[in-house]
Amino acid sequence: MNDPGERVETLIVESGGDRLDAYVADHLDLSRTRVQGLVEEGLILLDGRPARKSERLERGQEIEVRVPAPAPLEVEPEDILLDVLFEDTSLLVVDKPAGMVVHPAPGHSTGTLVNALLAHASDLSGIGGKLRPGIVHRLDKNTSVLLVVAKTDAAHQALSRALQRREIKRLYQACSWGHLPRSPLEVEAPIGRDPTNRRRMAVVESGRYAMSHFRVVERWLGAELLEVALETGRTHQIRVHLAHVGHPVVGDALYGAGWERGIGGRAHRWAQMFNKRVSRQFLHAWRLSFRHPVSGEMLRFEAPLPEDLSSWVEWARSET
């Protein structure tokens, strides 16, 4: 009998030759390390027998995978400094730094924005559940970003509807390698899971509609500072679209690793030096605007570039 919450998946191998651990990881969106652990626990069967992680698969074989329910996480308030730009009885607006995970998950049970919020305000909306109280939208850990947090269920529902109607507007600043072919530049290209790497997103025909608008703010020797507006909110949208047009985000290890080495001419040395200075992806959500869910007042907030990003901009300017 399965444990409550246990996930059971059955896969029929469509083509042979892959290692079992790689095949299961790719098809079930699990890490290979996680799959290997399931194999060692006897939770993966191949044609009814315990599987071996390194064995090669043959077409038509059946794989049964049992993924135990995750251990419950207890979310504790933590006294973590928050940069709160606005707060009333309905919501908060927070400037989240890069590197801070938004909500607890396996491997990130402490130090998250939710841990900090629970210490700051005990009356957050419960719609997001115990792990995501007040959280209206998903956000990238490695992006510094302005975000709105709901304190009541009514505010949460209203903000979620506004998000779906694209009435919550956000402007980003990004730095991309090379020079865009023109400015402004619109990129309309569907985004979905990368079929060759489940950790990444990609422009794929079967993906969801996505539209991004890019405008050059400053042009440097081997890179540009951009202002970015999104019409849609797909996962990693800015990073995927810029990589798709051949100008990935500076410091983006997932979509632009090593790209600076391809810059030629006198910009080559500049790009190498700039890349050594940049320690994270150069992406910052600096402006947020939306209507207050209760008063209907239009609210607008701005956050300057964080100190690390602004120091890299100063270097880029001085060396161009």
Rounded CA-CA distance 87/68 in Å is: 40
Would you state the structure tokens that stand for residue 203, as one six-digit string? 């422009």
Q: Which of 95, 140, 194, 252 is catalytic?
A: 140
Active site residue 140: yes
Q: Which residues contact 96 (CB under 8 A, 6 or more apart)?
A: 102, 113, 139, 144, 145, 146, 147
Q: Which residues are catalytic?
A: 140
